[in-house]
Protein backbone atom coordinates (compact mmCIF):
# COMPACT_ATOMS: atom_id res chain seq x y z
CA UNK A 1 0.00 0.00 0.00
CA UNK A 2 1.23 3.49 -0.86
CA UNK A 3 1.20 6.18 1.82
CA UNK A 4 0.94 9.82 0.72
CA UNK A 5 1.75 12.76 2.96
CA UNK A 6 -0.53 15.55 1.70
CA UNK A 7 0.61 19.04 2.73
CA UNK A 8 -1.29 22.26 2.06
CA UNK A 9 0.38 25.51 3.08
CA UNK A 10 -1.70 28.25 1.45
CA UNK A 11 -3.18 30.87 3.76
CA UNK A 12 -6.32 30.69 1.62
CA UNK A 13 -8.72 28.12 3.10
CA UNK A 14 -10.66 27.02 0.00
CA UNK A 15 -9.83 25.77 -3.48
CA UNK A 16 -9.94 27.92 -6.59
CA UNK A 17 -12.75 26.91 -8.90
CA UNK A 18 -14.84 25.85 -5.92
CA UNK A 19 -14.71 28.81 -3.52
CA UNK A 20 -14.27 32.56 -4.20
CA UNK A 21 -10.62 33.55 -3.74
CA UNK A 22 -9.74 29.91 -3.19
CA UNK A 23 -6.21 28.51 -3.30
CA UNK A 24 -4.71 27.28 -6.56
CA UNK A 25 -2.27 24.99 -4.76
CA UNK A 26 -5.04 23.36 -2.73
CA UNK A 27 -6.83 22.81 -6.04
CA UNK A 28 -3.79 21.03 -7.49
CA UNK A 29 -2.98 18.89 -4.46
CA UNK A 30 -6.60 17.73 -4.24
CA UNK A 31 -6.53 16.91 -7.95
CA UNK A 32 -3.35 14.87 -7.58
CA UNK A 33 -4.86 12.85 -4.73
CA UNK A 34 -8.09 12.29 -6.65
CA UNK A 35 -6.29 11.05 -9.76
CA UNK A 36 -3.84 8.91 -7.82
CA UNK A 37 -6.61 7.22 -5.84
CA UNK A 38 -8.42 6.39 -9.06
CA UNK A 39 -5.36 4.32 -9.96
CA UNK A 40 -4.52 2.97 -6.50
CA UNK A 41 -7.61 2.74 -4.33
CA UNK A 42 -5.70 1.34 -1.34
CA UNK A 43 -3.66 4.50 -0.88
CA UNK A 44 -3.34 5.80 2.67
CA UNK A 45 -3.28 9.59 3.06
CA UNK A 46 -1.80 11.57 5.95
CA UNK A 47 -3.07 15.16 5.76
CA UNK A 48 -1.50 18.29 7.22
CA UNK A 49 -3.02 21.73 6.70
CA UNK A 50 0.01 23.87 7.42
CA UNK A 51 -1.85 26.99 6.31
CA UNK A 52 -4.57 26.55 8.94
CA UNK A 53 -2.31 25.10 11.65
CA UNK A 54 1.30 26.23 11.13
CA UNK A 55 3.98 24.31 12.99
CA UNK A 56 5.72 26.16 15.79
CA UNK A 57 8.88 27.92 14.60
CA UNK A 58 12.28 26.72 15.72
CA UNK A 59 13.50 28.35 18.96
CA UNK A 60 16.73 28.33 20.91
CA UNK A 61 15.32 25.63 23.19
CA UNK A 62 14.37 23.56 20.14
CA UNK A 63 17.91 23.73 18.80
CA UNK A 64 19.35 22.86 22.21
CA UNK A 65 17.03 19.87 22.52
CA UNK A 66 17.49 18.61 18.95
CA UNK A 67 21.29 18.65 19.19
CA UNK A 68 21.33 16.93 22.58
CA UNK A 69 21.78 13.14 22.26
CA UNK A 70 18.44 11.42 23.00
CA UNK A 71 19.82 9.55 26.01
CA UNK A 72 20.92 12.83 27.60
CA UNK A 73 17.74 14.82 27.03
CA UNK A 74 15.86 16.29 29.94
CA UNK A 75 12.04 15.95 30.15
CA UNK A 76 11.48 19.51 28.90
CA UNK A 77 13.44 18.70 25.75
CA UNK A 78 11.03 15.91 24.82
CA UNK A 79 8.17 18.37 25.19
CA UNK A 80 9.86 20.94 22.99
CA UNK A 81 10.47 18.34 20.27
CA UNK A 82 7.08 16.60 20.51
CA UNK A 83 5.52 18.33 17.49
CA UNK A 84 8.68 17.97 15.44
CA UNK A 85 8.81 14.25 16.27
CA UNK A 86 5.23 13.84 15.09
CA UNK A 87 5.95 15.67 11.82
CA UNK A 88 9.07 13.57 11.22
CA UNK A 89 7.15 10.37 11.97
CA UNK A 90 4.57 11.32 9.33
CA UNK A 91 7.32 12.01 6.81
CA UNK A 92 9.02 8.69 7.53
CA UNK A 93 5.76 6.81 6.96
CA UNK A 94 5.16 8.44 3.58
CA UNK A 95 6.15 7.04 0.19
CA UNK A 96 5.06 10.21 -1.65
CA UNK A 97 5.03 13.77 -0.33
CA UNK A 98 2.53 15.99 -2.16
CA UNK A 99 3.21 19.58 -1.14
CA UNK A 100 1.09 22.57 -2.08
CA UNK A 101 3.54 25.46 -1.86
CA UNK A 102 2.38 28.83 -3.23
CA UNK A 103 4.94 31.55 -3.92
CA UNK A 104 4.88 34.28 -1.29
CA UNK A 105 7.34 37.07 -2.07
CA UNK A 106 9.44 34.76 -4.26
CA UNK A 107 9.74 31.94 -1.71
CA UNK A 108 7.62 29.40 0.21
CA UNK A 109 5.13 30.58 2.85
CA UNK A 110 6.52 30.94 6.37
CA UNK A 111 4.30 28.09 7.54
CA UNK A 112 5.85 25.70 5.02
CA UNK A 113 9.36 26.84 5.95
CA UNK A 114 8.47 26.14 9.60
CA UNK A 115 7.52 22.59 8.59
CA UNK A 116 10.85 22.18 6.77
CA UNK A 117 12.73 23.42 9.83
CA UNK A 118 10.91 20.87 11.99
CA UNK A 119 11.59 17.84 9.78
CA UNK A 120 15.25 18.50 8.92
CA UNK A 121 16.42 16.87 12.14
CA UNK A 122 19.85 15.65 13.17
CA UNK A 123 19.73 11.96 14.01
CA UNK A 124 16.33 11.53 12.41
CA UNK A 125 16.53 12.73 8.80
CA UNK A 126 20.22 13.62 8.49
CA UNK A 127 23.38 12.47 10.22
CA UNK A 128 26.36 14.47 11.44
CA UNK A 129 29.75 13.33 12.68
CA UNK A 130 32.74 15.65 13.11
CA UNK A 131 35.03 12.63 12.78
CA UNK A 132 34.11 12.25 9.09
CA UNK A 133 36.55 14.62 7.36
CA UNK A 134 35.08 16.22 4.27
CA UNK A 135 31.73 14.46 4.77
CA UNK A 136 30.40 15.30 8.23
CA UNK A 137 26.77 15.35 7.01
CA UNK A 138 24.83 12.58 5.29
CA UNK A 139 21.15 11.98 4.40
CA UNK A 140 19.29 9.34 6.36
CA UNK A 141 16.43 8.90 3.87
CA UNK A 142 18.58 8.23 0.82
CA UNK A 143 17.49 4.61 0.44
CA UNK A 144 13.84 5.10 1.39
CA UNK A 145 12.56 5.52 -2.19
CA UNK A 146 10.48 8.57 -1.33
CA UNK A 147 9.15 10.90 -4.04
CA UNK A 148 8.30 14.58 -3.76
CA UNK A 149 5.64 16.44 -5.75
CA UNK A 150 5.69 20.25 -5.47
CA UNK A 151 2.51 21.95 -6.67
CA UNK A 152 2.89 25.72 -6.71
CA UNK A 153 1.25 28.94 -7.90
CA UNK A 154 2.41 32.50 -8.51
CA UNK A 155 0.86 35.83 -9.36
CA UNK A 156 3.24 36.75 -12.18
CA UNK A 157 4.53 34.47 -14.93
CA UNK A 158 7.80 33.22 -16.37
CA UNK A 159 9.34 31.60 -13.29
CA UNK A 160 10.21 28.32 -15.01
CA UNK A 161 13.66 27.15 -16.16
CA UNK A 162 15.12 29.55 -18.72
CA UNK A 163 12.26 32.03 -18.40
CA UNK A 164 12.24 35.74 -17.56
CA UNK A 165 11.90 35.43 -13.76
CA UNK A 166 13.69 32.13 -13.16
CA UNK A 167 16.22 33.81 -10.87
CA UNK A 168 13.46 35.05 -8.56
CA UNK A 169 11.87 31.63 -8.09
CA UNK A 170 13.01 30.43 -4.68
CA UNK A 171 10.12 28.00 -4.18
CA UNK A 172 10.94 24.78 -6.04
CA UNK A 173 14.71 25.22 -5.70
CA UNK A 174 14.66 25.73 -1.93
CA UNK A 175 12.17 22.92 -1.29
CA UNK A 176 14.12 20.50 -3.51
CA UNK A 177 17.36 21.46 -1.76
CA UNK A 178 15.96 20.75 1.70
CA UNK A 179 14.58 17.38 0.62
CA UNK A 180 17.77 16.47 -1.24
CA UNK A 181 19.71 17.21 1.94
CA UNK A 182 17.77 14.50 3.82
CA UNK A 183 17.93 12.05 0.91
CA UNK A 184 14.81 12.60 -1.20
CA UNK A 185 16.21 12.96 -4.72
CA UNK A 186 13.13 12.27 -6.87
CA UNK A 187 11.19 15.52 -7.15
CA UNK A 188 8.53 16.66 -9.63
CA UNK A 189 6.59 19.90 -9.96
CA UNK A 190 3.77 21.77 -11.67
CA UNK A 191 2.57 25.35 -11.17
CA UNK A 192 -0.19 27.81 -11.98
CA UNK A 193 0.87 31.29 -13.09
CA UNK A 194 -0.83 34.61 -14.05
CA UNK A 195 -2.98 34.71 -10.90
CA UNK A 196 -2.71 38.49 -10.60
CA UNK A 197 -3.82 38.97 -14.21
CA UNK A 198 -7.02 36.95 -13.93
CA UNK A 199 -7.57 36.74 -17.67
CA UNK A 200 -7.56 33.97 -20.26
CA UNK A 201 -3.87 33.38 -19.56
CA UNK A 202 -4.72 32.36 -15.99
CA UNK A 203 -7.45 30.02 -17.25
CA UNK A 204 -5.00 28.46 -19.70
CA UNK A 205 -2.32 28.11 -17.02
CA UNK A 206 -4.78 26.40 -14.66
CA UNK A 207 -5.78 23.93 -17.37
CA UNK A 208 -2.15 23.19 -18.23
CA UNK A 209 -1.17 22.74 -14.57
CA UNK A 210 -4.11 20.41 -13.97
CA UNK A 211 -3.08 18.30 -16.96
CA UNK A 212 0.52 18.24 -15.71
CA UNK A 213 -0.69 17.22 -12.24
CA UNK A 214 -2.72 14.36 -13.71
CA UNK A 215 0.31 13.18 -15.67
CA UNK A 216 2.46 13.23 -12.54
CA UNK A 217 -0.10 11.20 -10.60
CA UNK A 218 -0.37 8.70 -13.44
CA UNK A 219 3.39 8.33 -13.89
CA UNK A 220 4.08 7.87 -10.19
CA UNK A 221 1.16 5.48 -9.72
CA UNK A 222 2.30 3.42 -12.70
CA UNK A 223 5.62 2.81 -10.95
CA UNK A 224 4.14 2.04 -7.54
CA UNK A 225 0.76 0.35 -8.11
CA UNK A 226 1.00 -3.14 -9.66
CA UNK A 227 -1.70 -2.68 -12.28
CA UNK A 228 -1.75 1.14 -12.57
CA UNK A 229 0.27 1.05 -15.78
CA UNK A 230 -2.48 -0.93 -17.51
CA UNK A 231 -5.15 1.48 -16.30
CA UNK A 232 -3.22 4.53 -17.53
CA UNK A 233 -2.51 2.96 -20.93
Q: Which regions of the chain are under pLDDT 50?
A: none
Give buried/exposed letters for 108-139 (b at 16+ CB in 10 A, else e). bbebbbbbbbbbbbeebbbeeeeeeeeeeeeb
Annotated binding-site positions: 10, 103-106
Q: How far apart are CA 229 and CA 233, in angstroms?
A: 6
Annotated binding-site positions for FMN: 10, 103-106
The pTM assigned to this predicted structure is 0.95
* Bridge partners, 148 (sequence order): 97, 187
pLDDT digits (tens, 9 = 90+) for 158-196: 999 999 999 999 999 999 999 999 999 999 999 999 999
pLDDT digits (tens, 9 = 90+) for 61-86: 999 999 999 999 999 999 999 999 99
If DSSP codes are grouped into helix, strand and coil, which group holds residue 58?
coil
* Count of residues making up the chain: 233
* Region for residue 194 given its phi and psi (left: phi exceeds 0; alpha: psi -120 to 50; beta: otherwise): left
Q: What is the CATH superfamily name and number for domain 3-232?
A: Flavodoxin domain (3.40.50.360)
pLDDT for residue 232: 54
Amino acid sequence: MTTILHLDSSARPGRSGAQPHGSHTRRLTARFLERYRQLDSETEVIYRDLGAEPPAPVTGNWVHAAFTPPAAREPWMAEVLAQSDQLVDELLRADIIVAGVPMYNFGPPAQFKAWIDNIVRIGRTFGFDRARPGEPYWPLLADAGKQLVILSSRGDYGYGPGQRLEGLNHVEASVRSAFRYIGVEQAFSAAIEYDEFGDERLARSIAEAEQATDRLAEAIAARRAPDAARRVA
